[in-house]
């Protein structure tokens, strides 16, 4: 029963990692952009939620009503105003620009909020549990987090394969030049992709802020978890990000059970093993 409990907790944590990864996979799949600042946007969303909860007295989960659209607007403006100019066959310009954004976000948050760590309180739901069996309990908040992760990925899949916007995403992903000749404005398509990506980031950031302490410097670690989940699941596979997040979460849970100091190391080992055995990931799929 103890092993089952460890596995269940690892799966639930994997939902959060899947949300870290989904936005990263989306923008890479659509525009081949590797966003080095992705983890810092997660932290930015957490701080925006902190400001909203302090200013309006809302709970962290209710703050999503404001934080999600706000992050979406930031994503659209950033892509149209800056990142579109860096896109092309050479990945280096976008890497350098997003690296610069990472530094700017970290230092901006440090200047405004100092280096002190914060944590959002969601109230009684944080300690509420559901008894599944003798010796097996599941937290309500981690369960909600996992359900939201599945819903987010299902929503992204629906957008990609059942909407006109999704067809535009897939067309520009397959061949941006041909898509433009057919009348699509690639700049707008890419901007909407970044908008959706940062909306997902907003959800991930708020749930992360409720789960753990955060400070301006922890963005790169969130990027690493998201990147590992994407690679494990397979580039271009939305559901693969969920599988990658779960594998990462379970590996960390098992590592923490063996020795608390092994928690992160176990996740990195799982990533390296899968990368060695299956470099293309478990469920590789090209958007399109």
Paired strand residues for 129: 139
At 288 the pLDDT is: 46
Question: What's the whole-number mean pLDDT along residues 186-212?
Answer: 94
How far apart CA 140 and CA 126 sit, in angstroms, is 7
Count, in order, helices (H) and strands (E) of the chain. Answer: 11, 2
Q: How confident is the model at residue 234 (pLDDT cuts 50, 70, 90)?
A: confident
At 62 the pLDDT is: 94
The neighbour count for residue 178, using CB atoms within 10 Å, is 11
At 1 the pLDDT is: 65
Question: What's the whole-number mean pLDDT along residues 224-234?
Answer: 91
How far apart CA 12 and CA 143 sit, in angstroms, is 6
pLDDT tens per residue across span 94-103: 899 999 999 9
Express as a percent the part of the chain with pLDDT over 70.
Answer: 98
Residue 208 has pLDDT above 70, yes or no: yes
Pick the more confident residue, 88 or 275.
Answer: 275
Name the residue ranges covered by the structural domains of the chain: 23-217
Question: What's the whole-number mean pLDDT along residues 24-52?
Answer: 92
pLDDT tens per residue across span 104-152: 999 999 999 999 999 999 888 888 888 877 777 888 999 999 999 999 9
Question: What's the whole-number mean pLDDT along residues 235-263?
Answer: 89
Residue 39 has pLDDT above 50, yes or no: yes
How far apart CA 193 and CA 286 sit, in angstroms, is 16
Mean of the per-residue pLDDT values of the chain? 90
How far apart CA 272 and CA 256 sit, in angstroms, is 18
């Amino acid at each position: 029963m103890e092993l089952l409990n460890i596995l269940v907790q690892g799966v639930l944590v994997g939902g959060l990692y899947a949300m870290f990864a989904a936005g990263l996979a989306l923008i890479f799949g659509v525009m081949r952009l590797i966003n080095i600042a992705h983890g810092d946007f997660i932290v930015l969303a957490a701080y925006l939620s902190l400001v909203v909860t302090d200013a309006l007295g809302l709970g962290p989960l209710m703050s999503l009503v404001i934080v999600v659209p706000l992050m979406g607007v930031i994503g659209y403006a950033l892509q149209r105003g800056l990142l579109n100019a860096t896109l092309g066959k050479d990945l280096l310009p976008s890497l350098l620009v997003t690296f610069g954004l990472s530094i700017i976000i970290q230092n901006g948050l440090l200047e405004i909020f100092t280096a002190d760590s914060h944590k959002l309180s969601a109230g009684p739901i944080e300690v509420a549990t559901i008894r599944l069996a003798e010796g097996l309990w599941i937290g309500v908040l981690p369960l909600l987090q996992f359900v939201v992760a599945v819903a987010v990925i299902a929503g992204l899949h629906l957008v990609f394969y059942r909407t006109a916007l999704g067809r535009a995403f897939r067309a520009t992903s397959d061949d941006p030049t041909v898509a433009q000749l057919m009348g699509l404005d690639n700049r707008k398509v890419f901007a909407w992709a970044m908008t959706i990506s940062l909306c997902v980031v907003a959800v991930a950031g708020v749930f992360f802020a409720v789960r753990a302490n955060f400070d301006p410097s922890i963005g790169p670690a969130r990027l690493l978890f998201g990147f590992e989940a994407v690679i494990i699941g397979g580039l271009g596979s939305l559901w693969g990000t969920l599988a990658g997040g779960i594998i990462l979460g379970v590996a960390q849970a098992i590592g923490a059970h063996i020795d608390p100091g092994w928690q992160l190391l176990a996740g990195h080992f799982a990533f390296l093993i899968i990368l060695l055995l299956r470099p293309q990931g478990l469920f590789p799929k090209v958007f399109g």
